[in-house]
Amino acid sequence: MTKVTMTVNGKSVSAETEGRTLLSSYLREGLGLTGTHIGCDTSQCGACVVHIDGVAVKSCSVFAQDVAGSKVTTIEGMANTDGSLGVIQQAFQDHHGLQCGFCTPGMVMSSAALLASNPKPTEADVRHGLEGNICRCTGYHNIVKAVMAASGQDVAAVAAE
Amino acid sequence: MAKDFGIGAEAKRTEDIRYLTGAGNYTHDVNVHGQAYAVFVRSNMAHARIKSVGAAAAEGMPGVLAVFTGEDFKDVGGNPAGWFIGSRDGSPMKEPKRPVLAHGKVRHVGDAYAAVIAQTYMEAKDAAQAVADASEFEELPAIIDMAQALADSSNRVHDEIADNQCFDWGWIEDNRAKVDAAIKAAPHVTTLELVNNRLIPNAMEPRASIGEYNPGTGDYKLTTTSQNPHLTRLLVAAFVLGIPENKLQVVAPDVGGGFGSKIYHYGEEALVLAAAKKIKKPVKWVAERSESFLSDAHGRDHVTKIELACEKDGTFIAFRTETMANVGAYLSNFSTVTPTFLHGTLMAGPYKVPNVYVNVKTVFTNTAPVDAYRGAGRPEATYSLERVVDQMCRELGLDPFEVRRKNFITTDMFPYTTPAGLAYDVGNYHATLDKAIELADVAGFEARRTASAAKGKLRGLGLSTWIEACGIAPSNLVGILGARVGLYDAATVRVNPTGNVSVMVGAHSHGQSHETVFAQIISDMFGIPMSSVDIVHGDTAKIPFGMGSYGSRSLAVCGQAMANAADKVIAKGKKIAAHMLEATEAEIVFSDGVFAVSGTNRSKTFGEIAFSAYVPHNYPLATLEPGLEETAFYDPANFTYPAGTYLCEVEVDADTGKVDVCNFTCADDFGNVMNPMVVRGQVHGGVVQGIGQALLEHGVYDENGQLLSGSYMDYTMPRADDVPFVTVDHSCVTPCSHNKLGVKGCGEAGAIGSPPAVVNAVLDALNRGGHKIAHIDMPLTPSRVWSAMNA
């Protein structure tokens, strides 16, 4: 067991880990941050996406020890400092971009990374940018709308409804 | 304070806050002090006799606390089928025992034959591998193909079932000869042979269960990923382990999607309870995704021959269906009703066809159990009907829109009893067809097709008109049809002393938005803000005995139960108000949160009545009880019958066979709509699951029974860049006639109506492009489409 220290959501944290401990397990079991979900174990579903030093990464594909000293942001760190929803989170609620909520943390984290690199994405940009995240509930319609809305675009006319 | 978001408002979801901030509480997120971990040892062979289980190999390994095998459960009950279905010859269905852990034989890849309990998950996993390595089997030939399984008695999934057939069902058997004669005499008969592809549900949250046992009280607690905690409690307690129901609490906290796969009781739930009692520690199990692929109940998997007999002008005379339906290795809880009463009874569609007959043979194979998956039987019915109608139009050169119009049941014909035995109460199928044509701009299709052709793409337009029987209930009807349970639902409305309201409901929300929509209804009825209403679900210790969520039943059955309980609360409130205002009960009117004496300015607010109910200092106790809490059980008079029209436009790349869905339009009649935003979201999701079935998804076993599509590398889930925006309209409304809310249910519609629309669109594109192709089986992968074009 090795003590691994990193900065998670702005706070320095430590937990004992084995060499084989994945970052997703370190966050969930070591730190109790269960907002990061595990949906597939094989880095294909995207429910476990977090940011490592600002880059969106599937945390089930990274050993905790390999990111010691990094700055990690999880879904628990995405709200505003007063506890209200951040812009992307609020857009997901406003546009019904989630149903069961299980893929949602990964969707929000991937969307945040997408918007950081592409502040005004087209529909195609959003769909391409989120193709590493699987959602079984929403059909992606309202997720795409939410991300475009979070970028400040008017989505009222995106699809007739 | 008045209501804010009542019935029909696009209220934002209250449950979203916890999901968006990482504060959800899914079973995997629950940790109980001192918990141990279970890992299951699963067969890597499809069919084998168990010669020995290497349990001894795990004993003494680090952290190992116990090893269980099938032997430990041979004397407890089995996990039963929920419906009894008889064969045409009057013989009962074959119902082999489904044990907690496989005993004697393993019957599909992924069949669990042992479980290891250890201090840590990794220790349990290491020891489970040791058990697997030390176990010995005599491998038997795998039974995979349904026709072969029926024909070959020498190889049996269950030794006591000679022909691997569960039952041979005819619906309606008395009509068989009449339908045969009608088809024989018909001017035209179109025949199609179809495969309704096996699907793997893939809720994003894998199944998980935690068992606890208190030796001091004898109480058990099961925290589990369930769509229906009371049903799970009944099955695991009364049928499998023999625990008194009052000693077992089942909690289904936040559940990350179900789509049917979490209706059923699975052996893992019984195992963690038995293990917790034995080792005197809580026991937690969480499925890996590969376990979900191998052991969750799969969906669909029908092989069907359908015939449509008609006049030369397209007037329908008869539908006749012969289907083989795969039930897999064991009967899952709804596996016998899904291919029968959820399928055969819908084989008249929205049409006034005089003759319908359906024959379904259910077949055991060495594959994972097959059960209800979003839509459950009704997608299979709709697919068969809408494909064969489309093909008939092509054969006779008829317009598919006009043929539907000609054959639709008309609004003056309701209530309408079909030859498949259902009594549709209301509907307006012409209205949704016209609405879909308008929204999809069918008039502009030719121009779009020309534009596609200029890019070298073949464009097609596909139509599907669908109907379903949902709001799954009523008990007296399903009882006649073979259900071993009732299908009512229940709710308790508790007004607290300070005027806020706790509503305990039997339905379970795992994405359906009950916490918001049910609160809207209570807000509307009581005239109080939504924020004063909490919807409590998913815990048998808190909620009344309800049957859970599936079959688009939550609102139409449980929602109505809740509204009935709320009506009782209002009636009791009037009694209290009459006492407080010194009036008669008949003089009290209730509106917008105020109880008033009619024609006067004397009134009490909802909050004042609530407070009085719990501080009854001067009540006439002989005639007025304290408290303001009511429960209602609601068992409807009939199914509900949502219906609609779906239009799909595709482009096919002639060089590669790749299909792109360009536009998808839905015009649905769901009856009255409580929250349009939520309804649209349900349809979006269902449609994309249907597009997935039509183009991408396929659960494939090879001849040895190995699941070839057992991971997200091999099983193609629809992703964001596979699908377009979906246009959804629900403005055509014929309110359900037999529930007061006038609601029908919308959860399954998208998955029911969409697959034939997509396939019909692809075939339209190919045929317009000069390729004379009658049918391609789903999923319409580039390889299949290209091969059909180049055959």
Nearest CA-CA partner of B631 in B515, B514, B526, B504 = B504
- Whole-number Å distance between alpha carbons of B80 and B93: 12
Report if residue B336 sits inside a domain.
Answer: yes
Report if residue B294 sits inside a domain.
Answer: no
Report if residue A155 sits inside a domain.
Answer: no
> Based on the domain organization, do B513 and B459 belong to the same domain?
no
Whole-Å CA distances, B181 to B279, B312, B390: 65, 18, 23
Q: Which of B578, B608, B634 is the last residue of a domain?
A: B634
* Interchain pair A137, B712: CB under 8 A: no
What is the pLDDT at residue B290?
97
SS3 call for B756: helix
Q: Is A141 on the interface with B (CB under 8 A)?
A: yes
Could you identify the residue written with the tokens 């792109």?
B660
Query: pLDDT, tens digit, for every residue of B194-251?
Result: 999 999 999 999 999 999 999 999 999 999 999 999 999 999 999 999 999 999 999 9
Report if residue B194 sits inside a domain.
Answer: no
- Whole-number Å distance between alpha carbons of B204 and A49: 14
Contacts of B34 (CB under 8 A, 6+ apart): B281, B282
Question: At residue B376, what is the residue type?
Answer: A
B574 phi-psi bin (left φ>0, alpha ψ -120 to 50, beta other):
alpha
Q: Is B558 on the interface with A (CB under 8 A)?
A: no
What is the pLDDT at residue A160?
55
Instruction: Report, as an integer, the average pLDDT of B757-785.
Output: 98
Report if residue B1 sits inside a domain.
Answer: no
What is the pLDDT at residue A1?
85
What is the pLDDT at residue B3?
66
Query: For chain B, how many structural domains are there in total?
Result: 3
Nearest CA-CA partner of B639 in B733, B548, B744 = B744
**Burial (CB count within 10 angstroms: exposed 0-12, middle 13-18, buried 19+), residue B2:** exposed
Q: Which of B611, B634, B657 is the last residue of a domain?
A: B634
CATH number at residue B429: 3.30.365.10
Min Cα distance B462 → chain A (Å) is 19
Question: At residue A108, what is the residue type?
Answer: V
Closest to A96 (Cβ–Cβ): which among B23, B255, B677? B677
* Interchain pair B723, A140: CB under 8 A: yes
At A159, the pLDDT band (50, 70, 90 cuts) reads low
Q: Is A9 on the interface with B (CB under 8 A)?
A: no
Other CB atoms within a 10 A radius of the CB of residue B787 amount to 12
Q: For B402-555, where are the E strands, in sequence order? A: 416-417, 423-424, 457-467, 489-495, 501-505, 533-536
> Based on the domain organization, do B598 and B646 belong to the same domain?
no
> Based on the domain organization, do A91 and A41 belong to the same domain?
no
> Based on the domain organization, do B525 and B605 belong to the same domain?
yes
Whether the pLDDT of residue B619 is over 60: the answer is yes
Report if residue A156 sits inside a domain.
Answer: no
**Burial (CB count within 10 angstroms: exposed 0-12, middle 13-18, buried 19+), residue B586:** exposed
Say if CB B467 and CB B519 are below 8 A apart.
no
The 8-class DSSP code of residue B663 comes to E
Name chain A contacts of B674, Cβ cutoff 8 Å.
none
Output the six-digit token pair for B349.
């569609």
> Based on the domain organization, do B628 and B642 belong to the same domain?
no
* Interchain pair B22, A45: CB under 8 A: no
Average pLDDT over all residues of chain B? 97
At A161, the pLDDT band (50, 70, 90 cuts) reads low
Question: How large a percentage of chain B has pLDDT more than 90?
Answer: 98
At B5, the pLDDT band (50, 70, 90 cuts) reads confident
Closest to B20 (Cβ–Cβ): which among A93, A133, A136? A93
- Whole-number Å distance between alpha carbons of B380 and B752: 8
Output phi, psi for B187, to 5 deg. -65, -30
Q: Is A82 on the interface with B (CB under 8 A)?
A: no
Best interface-test mutation with A: which of B12, B18, B20 has the largest number of A CBs within 10 A? Answer: B20
Q: Which of A77, A110, A131 is the last residue of a domain?
A: A77
Rg of chain A (C-alpha set): 16
> Based on the domain organization, do B552 and B466 belong to the same domain?
no
Best interface-test mutation with A: which of B18, B19, B730 has the largest number of A CBs within 10 A? Answer: B19
Neighbour order of strands in the sheet with B165-171 = B165-171, B355-364, B316-328, B302-310, B188-196
Q: Is B230 on the interface with A (CB under 8 A)?
A: no
Say if CB B303 and CB B195 are below 8 A apart.
yes
Q: Is B728 on the interface with A (CB under 8 A)?
A: yes
> Based on the domain organization, do A73 and A109 belong to the same domain?
no
Residue of A nearest to B684 (CA): A139
Whether the pLDDT of residue B617 is over 80: the answer is yes
Output phi, psi for B431, to 5 deg. -65, -45
Query: pLDDT, tens digit, for every residue of B694-715?
Result: 999 999 999 999 999 999 999 9
> Based on the domain organization, do A124 and A145 belong to the same domain?
yes
B:615-674 residues touching chain A, CB 8 A cutoff:
none
SS3 call for A107: helix
Query: pLDDT, tens digit, for every residue of B59-101?
Result: 999 999 999 999 999 999 999 999 999 999 999 999 999 999 9
> Based on the domain organization, do B123 and B234 belong to the same domain?
yes
- Whole-number Å distance between alpha carbons of B192 and B190: 7
Query: pLDDT, tens digit, for every residue of B135-179?
Result: 999 999 999 999 999 999 999 999 999 999 999 999 999 999 999
> Based on the domain organization, do B238 and B94 belong to the same domain?
yes
Closest to B681 (Cβ–Cβ): which among A39, A99, A131? A99
> Based on the domain organization, do B221 and B317 belong to the same domain?
no
Q: Is A110 on the interface with B (CB under 8 A)?
A: no
A:142-161 residues touching chain B, CB 8 A cutoff:
142-144, 158-161
Instruction: Report, as an integer, the average pLDDT of B775-785.
Output: 98
Closest to A75 (Cβ–Cβ): which among B21, B680, B725? B21
> Based on the domain organization, do B461 and B515 belong to the same domain?
no
Say if CB B62 and CB B109 are below 8 A apart.
no
B579 is in which domain, residue-wise? 488-634
Instruction: Report, as an integer, the average pLDDT of B301-326.
Output: 98
Report if residue A159 sits inside a domain.
Answer: no
> Based on the domain organization, do B626 and B707 belong to the same domain?
no
* Interchain pair A34, B255: CB under 8 A: no
- Whole-number Å distance between alpha carbons of B399 and B249: 57
Q: Which of B603, B634, B665 is the last residue of a domain?
A: B634
Say if CB B433 and CB B350 are below 8 A apart.
no
To 5 degrees, how large is the angle CA B296–CA B338–CA B88?
130
Report if residue A126 sits inside a domain.
Answer: yes
At B472, the pLDDT band (50, 70, 90 cuts) reads confident
| Least confidently predicted of B108-117, B478-487, B490-499, B754-763 | B478-487
What is the pLDDT at residue B2?
56
What is the pLDDT at residue B523?
97
Query: For chain A, how many structural domains are there in total?
Result: 2
CATH number at residue A30: 3.10.20.30
Q: Is B257 on the interface with A (CB under 8 A)?
A: yes
Q: Is B730 on the interface with A (CB under 8 A)?
A: no
> Sign of dihedral through CA atoms A36, A42, A45, A51?
positive
Task: Quote the ipTM score.
Answer: 0.98
- Whole-number Å distance between alpha carbons of B493 and B505: 9
Instruction: Report, as an integer, the average pLDDT of B44-59.
Output: 97
* Interchain pair B22, A131: CB under 8 A: no
Residue of B nearest to A31 (CA): B29
Report if residue B153 sits inside a domain.
Answer: no
Closest to B202 (Cβ–Cβ): which among A38, A124, A136? A136
* CA within 13 Å, CB half, B130: 18
- Quote the pTM value: 0.97
Name chain B contacts of A108, Cβ cutoff 8 Å.
20
Q: Which of A77, A103, A120 is the last residue of a domain?
A: A77
Could you identify the residue written with the tokens 């409130």?
B573
Q: Is B748 on the interface with A (CB under 8 A)?
A: no
A73 is in which domain, residue-wise? 2-77
> Based on the domain organization, do B544 and B556 belong to the same domain?
yes
* Interchain pair B726, A136: CB under 8 A: no
> Based on the domain organization, do A38 and A70 belong to the same domain?
yes
- For the CA atoms of B79, B83, B89, B91, the dihedral, rounded to the nearest 10 degrees, stands at 40
Report if residue B775 sits inside a domain.
Answer: yes
Nearest CA-CA partner of B262 in B339, B342, B204 = B204
> Based on the domain organization, do B629 and B767 belong to the same domain?
no
Query: If residue B433 lies in a helix (H) or strand (E), which one and from where to where?
Result: helix B429-439
Could you identify the residue written with the tokens 């008017």?
A154
Nearest CA-CA partner of B743 in B600, B639, B650 = B639
Q: Which of A39, A56, A77 is the last residue of a domain?
A: A77
Report if residue A35 sits inside a domain.
Answer: yes
Crossing angle (nearest 10°) for helices A104-117 and A141-150: 40
The 8-class DSSP code of residue A132 comes to T
**Burial (CB count within 10 angstroms: exposed 0-12, middle 13-18, buried 19+), residue B502:** middle
Best interface-test mutation with B: which of A1, A99, A127 has the largest number of B CBs within 10 A? Answer: A99
Closest to B721 (Cβ–Cβ): which among A47, A131, A160? A131
Q: Is B438 on the interface with A (CB under 8 A)?
A: no
At B499, the pLDDT band (50, 70, 90 cuts) reads very high
Closest to A105 (Cβ–Cβ): which among B22, B510, B513? B22
Question: At residue B509, what is the residue type?
Answer: S
Instruction: Report, as an integer, the average pLDDT of B268-279.
Output: 98
Name chain A contacts of B28, Cβ cutoff 8 Å.
34, 37-38
Query: pLDDT, tens digit, for every residue of B718-735?
Result: 999 999 999 999 999 999
**Burial (CB count within 10 angstroms: exposed 0-12, middle 13-18, buried 19+), residue B147:** exposed
* Interchain pair B24, A101: CB under 8 A: yes
Min Cα distance B492 → chain A (Å) is 24
As a 3-state breakdown, chain B gives helix, strand, coil percent values, each rounded to 5, of 30, 25, 45
Report if residue B292 sits inside a domain.
Answer: no
Crossing angle (nearest 10°) for helices B676-691 and B749-768: 50
Closest to A79 (Cβ–Cβ): which among B21, B290, B512? B21
